[in-house]
Amino acid sequence: GWGEAKEEVGSASNCSALTSLINQRIGPSLVGEDPRDINRLAETIYNGSRAHYALREGHVFPILGRRGITVAGMSGIDIALWDILGKSLSAPVWRLLGGRRSDRMPAYASGGWAGVDLIGDQLLGYVQRGGFSAVKMRVGIIDGSPSHSALRVHAAREALGPTIGLACDAHGTFTVSEAKQFCRLAEDANLLWFEEPVSADDKRGLAEVRRSTSIPIATGESEFNRFDYRELAELGAADIFQPDLAICGGVTEAMRIGAIASAWNLRLAPHLWTGALAFAAGMHVAAASPAGWILRLPRALTGSSRVRSLGSIENPSGYGARTAIPIDIITRLSR
C-alpha cells in the first residue's frame, strides 16, 4: 500500500525523523497484524503501549506526544492501509467509506500573491486556464496592513465579477484585532471564506473573529485529530474544516473529523497542499463525507480530462486510495 506523511504543513523538508519514527517505532508495533483491521491499527498507533486498554475498554488511553510527528506518521500508514484494503477488494476507497455523494466535486485554484495592480489578472488567469469557478488568494502579513489586504481583495472581486467564487488565506498572520478589521473592510466582497485569520494556537481568538463577521471562517490545516476539531466546533470557531490528511491521522481520522463537521452543520474541504498520495486520499474522503464540499486542485491537473470547464473534478475511480492520475503527474507532485 502507498501512503503519505509529512513533517509540517506546506513543506517537503528533511523527513528523516518521520522516517525513523515509522520504521523504528510505529511500523514494528504493527508487524503480524491484519492490515484490513484499520480501526484497530489506528487505535494501536494512537494509544501506543496502552493500546490494549483502549481496545478493551472502548475509549482512548493515549500516550504522551500524541500530536505532531506521531500523528503524522500515523497518517501515512493509515492512507497506505486504506490503499491495501481497496486494492484487495478491487474497489475505490470512497466506496468502502459508504459510497460517493456525486460523480464530481467542485474545485478551486489556489495562489494569488500578486499586488493590487496585478491580482485581478493573476486570478483571472487561473479561471481561464483551468476553467475554475472559484479561486483563492493570499492576504495578511504580506500586505503590511489589513487595509491593504482589503484593497487587494476588492481589486480581485472587481476583476472576477460577481459570479466567480473568491476566498482568501492569511496563513494565521493577523492578530485578532487585525483580522476583525480586515473582515469589516472586506465584508462586501462576498468571500467564500477567510482562511486561517489568526494563529492556529489561538482558537478562542479565532472564535472571536468568527463572531464578528458574516464571512465564513475556514481552518484546520494545523490540527492533528478529531479532538482538535471537536474543540473548534465547541468554541464556534469555524464554518469550514480543512484537515490535511498527511498530518491529521489519515483517511480514518479525516472521516471522523467529517462526522464532527456534519453534526455541527459545518463543511469539510480537505487541505490538499500535499503530494499526489495525500491529495488522492483527500479526494476519497471529500467524496464520501456528508460534509464534503470543495477541493483545491493542483496546477498539474489543470487541463486534465478529469477537470471540466465548470471547475469540478471527477471523483476517483481507481482501486485503493489512489486515482487514475497519469504517472508523470504523480512523479511531479511527489518531488
Has residue 70 been placed in a domain?
A: yes
Does the pLDDT value for residue 8 go beyond 80?
Answer: no
Catalytic-role residue among 59, 154, 171, 284 = 171
Q: Give pLDDT tens digits for 71-103.
A: 999 999 999 999 999 999 999 999 999 998 888
User: Domain residues for 28?
Assistant: 16-92
The CATH number of the domain holding residue 260 is 3.20.20.120
Query: Do strands 165-169 and 194-195 pair parallel, antiparallel, or not at all (unpaired)?
Result: parallel
Distance separating alpha carbons of residues 125 and 145, to the nearest angstrom: 26
**Active-site residue flag, 271:** yes
Residue 48: its pLDDT value, please?
Answer: 84
**Residue 303 pLDDT > 50:** no
Indicate the range of 10-19, 195-204, 219-228, 273-282 predicted with least confidence.
Answer: 10-19
pLDDT in tens, 187-241: 999 999 999 999 999 999 999 999 999 999 999 999 999 999 999 999 999 999 9
What the block records as the C-alpha cell of 250 is 489519515
Nearest in space to 44 (alpha carbons), one of 65, 29, 28: 29
Give the pLDDT mean for 49-54: 87
Tell me the per-residue pLDDT of 310-324, one tens digit each, with 9 for 90 and over: 567 777 766 666 654
Please name the residues in contact with 3: beta carbons below 8 A apart, sequence gap of 6 or more: 75, 76, 77, 78, 79, 80, 81, 83, 250, 277, 281, 321
Which pLDDT score is estimated for 130? 81
- CATH number of domain containing 60: 3.30.390.10
Co-location of 303 and 321 in the same domain: yes
Residues 209 and 321 in one domain: yes
Catalytically annotated residue among 52, 59, 271, 284:
271
Domain tally for the chain? 2
| Residue 256 CB contacts under 8 Å (≥ 6 apart), including other chains | 225, 226
Q: Is there a catalytic annotation at residue 154?
A: no
Same domain, 167 and 216: yes
